[in-house]
A and B are shown apart, each in its own frame.
Chain A
Amino acid sequence: MRRALIVAAAVAVAALLVIAPHRLNGYGLNLLYVTVLSVGLAYGWNIISGYAGYFSFGQIGFFGVGAYATGLLVADKGWPWMAAAAAGGVLACALSVPLGYVMLRLRGPFFAMGMFGMAQMVRVLVTAIPASGAGAGLFLPPGSGIVEVYYWTLAVAAGAFGITLWLDRSAFGLRLQALREDEQVAGTLGVDATRAKTTAFALSALIPGLLGGGYALFLTYIEPDAAFSSRLDLQSIVMAILGGVGTLWGPLVGALVMTQISEALWARFPQIYLMIFGGLLVVLLIALPRGIVPSVTAAIARRRAHAR
């Protein structure tokens, strides 16, 4: 009975999301796209940082790689954009394997800042590629509408959710969580730490890599500040933390709440937008350290225990 309800609800939500672009006006569709993009990015970040416990401040680098790869393949080679975006995702994922093998030896703040540095270096290198407009920007031929980009992004975000669902119930997910709690103990229990975290890292790179291509098409003009947007990077981290790091529903709840707040703020206070967002992150960590989802689940569990 309960299972049937869940399936029915999922089908209804999916149907709504599929029909939505044909019912919404331009602004509504933009907002929906940004929301779905945020959900995808938050889930991508959550795999390596939430489940495996390796906080990264540089996942936006993979997003930028996806965006630029797509831009170059479409503008220079005339690829169809979805093929280009898929190639961008694969490239980001392929880069992440050797990178993860090296970087994941670092821990805590060293990994976090090391990844930040990596993203910055990739950004500098991208601007040095002559074909990428040397940092001045890259125009994409118009043609693919936002509806296509939206469906692409929706599919990737749904995939990211699917991966997280799998992590939440698989032995692999448990291995990652064991790493997060104590890597040495996990090692003694027979978890191949390097392999597990490199895999998680590759998944965490694939998702933003795939999303970046769509974003390039959405903007139709990419430059380093947009493709390696520190705003998107900060946002996806704040969203996952707000909803609940390392939980299945956390990134979704966090992203849904945050996109609405963010949209209102961005429209009204573009000047102090990042300041408010930073302040919000600080307040959140103190007031709601575990995030919305775990806090609500805990509250429900308490009530149930009380009622008995």
Chain B
Amino acid sequence: MIVAQLAVNGILLGGVLALSALGFNIIFGVMRVVNLAHGDFVVLAAVFTVFAFAQLGINPLLVLPITIGAGFVAGALVHVLLLRRLPGEVASAEASSLTLTFGLSYFLAGAGLATFGGRFVSVPYLTGAYALGGLQIPQAKLLAFAVAVVLSLAFALVLRATRVGRAIRATSQNLDGALACGVDVDRVRTAGFAIGTAVATAAGTLMSFVYNLNVQQGVLFTVNAFAVVVIGGLGNYTGAVLGALILGLTESFASYYAGATLAEAAPYLLFILVLLVAPNGILGRRTA
């Protein structure tokens, strides 16, 4: 029974992790940038949601459009004001974009700490649970999972069926090809960064009623998203969903059987193992 319960918890967690990882994936796709500030956007949105709920009494689901909008604008700004200005001719362009987002991550975490303080918080929203044949299904987790699935589907629809979505996929798959077809790659990158960050902040709002967290845990969510994407294969969206379920289950079982401290190491371990054993992801094909 406990195994089934842990599996349910892991799958519910995986849904939210998948959403966060989709945002990470799109940014890597269009920019080839590993966004180390990703988790900080997640956590900032989560802490903001707690703040809005506790101080202003706003329902967390109503905060969702706010954090999505703010994430969209913030992501666009990060691309236009920062990443686009990195000099391209420096030999280690990849390293400098990585280092830039590393610095940005500390900046955001510090700004969050100064604004919201360092306490561990969460939204006490829907604290009940459904009983289902001996299994406990916490309402908040179920809601977060459901919303994450809806948003992920909406995200997939944007990528599949809209002009900007097509341009984003084209840029991810083949930069030169996209340029040759007249895609304005620079604008697509801004759009990709904006959408990716908006997805991250949306995931953050959902995290706020699943996790008990503080503003300095951004790196944890960055690593989670990175791990998920690596497990699924960079640029592979189906793989990312699968990766999120694997990570969710791993964390759920590890924290029960190995304790919270050792479970902290689980995403890192999984991440490094997959990188070494199957560097193209468990589905084994590189779409990016």
CB-defined interface of B85-112 with A at 8 Å, one 1/0 digit per residue? Answer: 1110011101110111011111111110
Contact B272 A276 (CB under 8 A): no
> Are B109 and A113 interface neighbours, CB within 8 A?
no
Nearest-Cβ distance from residue A185 to partner chain B, whole angstroms = 13
Q: Does B41 contact A (CB under 8 A)?
A: no
Asked whether A160 is an interface residue with its Cβ less than 8 Å from the other chain, the reply is: no
SS class, residues of chain A in contact with chain B? helix
A108 touches B98 (CB 8 A): yes
| In the complex, residue of chain B having the shortest beta-carbon distance to the beta carbon of A54 | B95
Which residues of B (248-288) have their CB < 8 Å from a CB of A? 261-262, 264-265, 267-269, 271-272, 275-276, 279
Who on chain A is nearest to B105 by CB?
A278
Does B271 lie within 8 Å of A114, measured CB to CB? Answer: yes
Bound CA–CA A272/B113 (angstroms)? 8
User: Is A282 touching B82 in the complex (CB atoms < 8 A)?
Assistant: yes
Our pick among B34, B87, B103 for the contact of A278 (Cβ within 8 Å) is B103
What residue in chain A is nearest B34 (Cβ atoms)? A109
B170: A residues at CB distance < 8 A: none
A275's partner among B100, B107, B271 (CB-CB below 8 A) is B107
Q: Does B92 lie within 8 Å of A274, measured CB to CB?
A: no
The answer to whether the Cβ of A280 comes within 8 Å of any Cβ in the partner chain is yes
What's the least CB distance linking A15 to chain B, in Å? 37
Contact of A135 with B90 at beta-carbon distance under 8 Å, contacts A277-B106, A278-B107, A282-B107 already known: no
Contacts of A234 in B (CB 8 A): 102, 106
Q: Check B100 against A117 for contact (C-beta < 8 Å).
A: no
Q: Could you list 27 A-B pairs, sorted by A, with CB under 8 Å?
A: A108-B98, A109-B34, A109-B94, A109-B98, A113-B223, A114-B272, A117-B223, A120-B264, A120-B268, A127-B261, A128-B261, A180-B92, A234-B102, A241-B99, A271-B114, A272-B111, A274-B113, A275-B109, A275-B110, A275-B114, A277-B103, A279-B103, A280-B103, A285-B96, A285-B99, A286-B86, A290-B90
Contact yes or no, A55 B98, CB < 8 A: yes
Chain A positions within 8 Å of B, measured between CB atoms, are: 53, 55, 57, 102-103, 105-106, 108-110, 112-114, 116-118, 120-121, 124-125, 127-128, 135, 180-181, 234, 237-238, 241, 245, 271-282, 285-286, 289-290
User: In the complex, which residues of chain B have a beta carbon less than 8 angstroms from the beta carbon of A135?
Assistant: 261
A55 proximity list for chain B (CB < 8 A) = 92, 95, 98-99
Q: Does B272 lie within 8 Å of A117, measured CB to CB?
A: yes
B72 beta carbon closer than 8 Å to chain A: no
Q: How far is the CB of B78 from chain A (nearest CB, A)?
A: 10
Q: Is the CB of B87 within 8 A of A289?
A: yes
Q: Is the CB of A282 within 8 A of B100?
A: yes
Contacts of A272 in B (CB 8 A): 110-111, 113-114
Asked if B230 lies at the interface with its beta carbon under 8 angstroms from chain A, I say: yes
- Also in contact, A278 and B99, with CB within 8 A (given A124-B264, A127-B261): no
Q: B110 to A273, Cβ gap below 8 A? A: yes
Q: Which residue of B lies closest to A286 (CB)?
A: B85
- In the bound complex, residues from chain B placing their C-beta under 8 Å from that of A108 are 34, 94-95, 98
Q: Which of A109, A110, A285 contacts B103 (CB 8 A)?
A: A285
B226 interfacial contact with A, CB 8 Å: yes
